[in-house]
Structure 1
Amino acid sequence: MAFRMPAEWAPHESVWIGFPSSADAWGAPLHHAQQQIAAFANAVHASGRGERIHLVAGSAEAAAIAVGLVESGVHVEQRLIGDIWLRDTACIVVKDSNHRIARNFGFNGWGGRFDYPGDKSIGQELAVAAGLEVATADWILEGGSIDVDGEGLAATTVDCLLNPNRNPMLDQYAIEARLRDDLGIQRLLWLGDGLANDHTDGHIDNLARFVGVNHILIPQGAGSDDPNEAVFEDARKRAEAFGCRVSRIPSVGRFLQDREIVPASYMNFYIGNAAIVVPLYGARNDDAAIATLASLFPDREVVGVMADAVLTGGGSFHCSSQQVPT
């Protein structure tokens, strides 16, 4: 069996979660963002029924705050983390029938937008600490830009993976070949644009997520003022034409922070061993999103946790986490 990236619903040994630590980066929302990430970690831990949690703080002060907010079984550690988005800066762990390898991809601050000390080193540091073999890839890939069903199928967006600010020398076919070699991806569903004003250039984990083999979940627009209505419909059409089974989940709809449209999305949920944790925004479809995920994952508890403060940093719970498969 060749090395392959497992589906997120496959069993996890542990998960790395970034903890907001920098007042310079987060500003006034820092305290509330810390509370929300801690609530996320507690929900994944599920009183010991979930995977082992490594909550990574960027300073001694932040680590002390984290310890005061999480359950006793959540492991808090201090490292030079940069920002919290470990989905993109940590390694992606692949496995065959007997071994695991941590693939350490290049990272350039989402196309040169941000440059925080630690973002380029935290992936290898965490993998080595976990006792994993590390293999370094010679191209740029963020974990939030791909989602897999564990059987060789992945989804991504043209908006991100073919953006010249990542790998300008690689065309579509070269990227597909590298995904096959590094992550065991045999088929790639190319969706179009990502969400409006997403500074990641359209990460897939805000747009479409696999919930089963060849089964993908895509939001349903929340009305005529939903800024992503056309994006969702284009994604649905592409997925169906590709041969995927498509389910729908209500969209957050038009969501503003500081009078600007921001990419609030229920799709940024995390699939843990015991719980599915879905970000909430105080929006009208919060309860419907929880109900949809509960119907798709009847073997797991679905927990909604407020994420509006975390969103001010540019992402949500899935973005802040990276699982280590058993």
Structure 2
Amino acid sequence: MSDFSLRRLAEWDPQSKTILGWPGPEGTYKEYPERLARATQEVSSIAQAIAHFQSVILAVGSERYEEAELYFNEIDTPFEIKLHKIEGDSMDVWLRDFAPTFVVEEPTKGEASIVGVDWNFNGWGNKHPTPTTVVFAKTFLKDFKIERIETSIVTEGGSLETDGEGTLLITESSIINDNRNPGKSREQIEAELKHCLGIEKILWIPERKGLDSTDCHIDALVRFVRPGVLLISKANEVKPTEWTTVYEEALEILSSATDAKGRPFEIIEVEEPDEDLFEGGGFEDDRAVRSYVNYLLVNGGIILPQFGDPAHDAAAIRVAQMLFGDERRIYPVLIDELPRLGGGVHCVTQEIPVSPSAESAMN
């Protein structure tokens, strides 16, 4: 019997810092220098937005470190943006997926602490692995002297959406998949997820293998607003495709589901921006990620993606105001390149929560 338990906190719990990263010149976008530049600029804008609410750690490969120093020396924000040098030149931006997932380790005796779960990132099923990203979780935890929790499965942080009260949302296609976990059953995967995240109930959404580079992550489809309340991305397609079917399936499943506490869900919809904004599609023929639910919660705020669609952008802000009221300041950030590359605001970030023991000491 283990002498400790692990528990993933909800994103609305107090946070210590947020991690982001600059893409490296030898990474996935090596043949696309213009895209590399635009992705860098958008990640930098998100980092600055977050730094209005809490501290940021920006992981930068050694090849671009001096460039990042010059850039951020000119930036003044209420909270610090601290650069952290990572050896290697193939860094990517999707910190949600290849950074550790930070959880609370609660020992039988003694104080709780924050530890990092390493999900054995393999480039979303060996689609886009790079030498820097596949070891990033291990490297980061070693650099910051945070205990590393090893796991027996492969997944990414964008696959995992929890309410902090024992409920996990996840898509089957992103983890019960031979490109990540060959030979492993759903029961084996469930057992490891429950152990590493302190989960009591898992709600599985089918999604589709191969529909995008992530095999359909949950964090662009549906998110917890608070326990019992979900925000789902409503498909907006002139000619419905499998993406519309994915949305409809998720809505049907969750409409009749209950969480770990037995509560039925209140479900709010927010419609995607118009698809003609992203003519030409996304990276390597993938569909651009046009999702307002790929937001980020920070201390006292919400970093909300905007896409340059005046009507839908404004509607998303109204939904955020309705859901979060006065408890969070809405900070909109315009993104165009990140959706084309396959993600958004949530995808490029990973939060480090405040340890409950540290929080109680402050109160």
- Aligned to 1:122, what secondary structure does the other structure show? helix
Alpha-carbon distance change, 116 to 62 in structure 1, aligned in 2, over 3 angstroms: farther
CA distance in 1, matches of 2:208, 2:217: 6
Deviations 1:46-68 (A, max 9, x none): 1xxx2210011222244235415
Q: Give the structure 1 partner of residue 288 of structure 2.
A: 262
The yes-or-no answer on 1:128 pairing with 2:150 is: no
CA distance in 2, matches of 1:263, 1:197: 12
Alpha-carbon distance change, 307 to 68 in structure 1, aligned in 2, over 3 angstroms: farther
Matches within 5 A, 1:1-326: 2-22=5-25, 24=30, 26-46=32-52, 50-58=53-61, 59-64=64-69, 66-68=71-73, 70-72=75-77, 73-80=80-87, 82-95=91-104, 96=106, 98-193=112-207, 197-222=211-236, 224-225=238-239, 227=241, 228-243=243-258, 244-255=265-276, 256-259=278-281, 261-283=287-309, 284-298=311-325, 299-326=327-354
Q: Alpha-carbon deviation of 1:188?
A: 0.7
Q: Alpha-carbon deviation of 1:133?
A: 1.2
Identity of aligned residues (%): 28
The gaps in structure 2 that reach 5 residues or longer are: 259-264, 355-363
Q: Is the 8 A contact 1:87 1:320 kept in 2?
A: yes
RMSD over aligned CA atoms reads 2.2
Q: Is the 8 A contact 2:307 2:335 kept in 1?
A: yes
CA distance in 2, matches of 1:14, 1:141: 23
Q: Which amino acid aligns with 1:78?
A: K
Alpha-carbon distance change, 306 to 195 in structure 1, aligned in 2, over 3 angstroms: farther
Q: Is the 8 A contact 1:66 1:76 kept in 2?
A: no
Deviations 1:118-175 (A, max 9, x none): 1122112222333321111122010001100000101011221212211012111111
CA distance in 2, matches of 1:264, 1:233: 16
Alpha-carbon distance change, 122 to 12 in structure 1, aligned in 2, over 3 angstroms: same
- Aligned to 2:133, what secondary structure does the other structure show? coil
Alpha-carbon distance change, 62 to 143 in structure 1, aligned in 2, over 3 angstroms: farther
Question: Which segment is superposed worse, 31-40 or 234-243?
Answer: 31-40
Q: Alpha-carbon deviation of 1:30?
A: 2.5
* TM-score scaled by length of structure 1: 0.91
Q: Is the 8 A contact 2:60 2:91 kept in 1?
A: no
CA distance in 1, matches of 2:234, 2:135: 38
Q: Alpha-carbon deviation of 1:107?
A: 1.1
Deviations 1:168-212 (A, max 9, x none): 121111111111111111111111216994210000011111111
Q: Which amino acid aligns with 1:89?
A: F
CA distance in 1, matches of 2:16, 2:208: 31
Larger Rg: 2
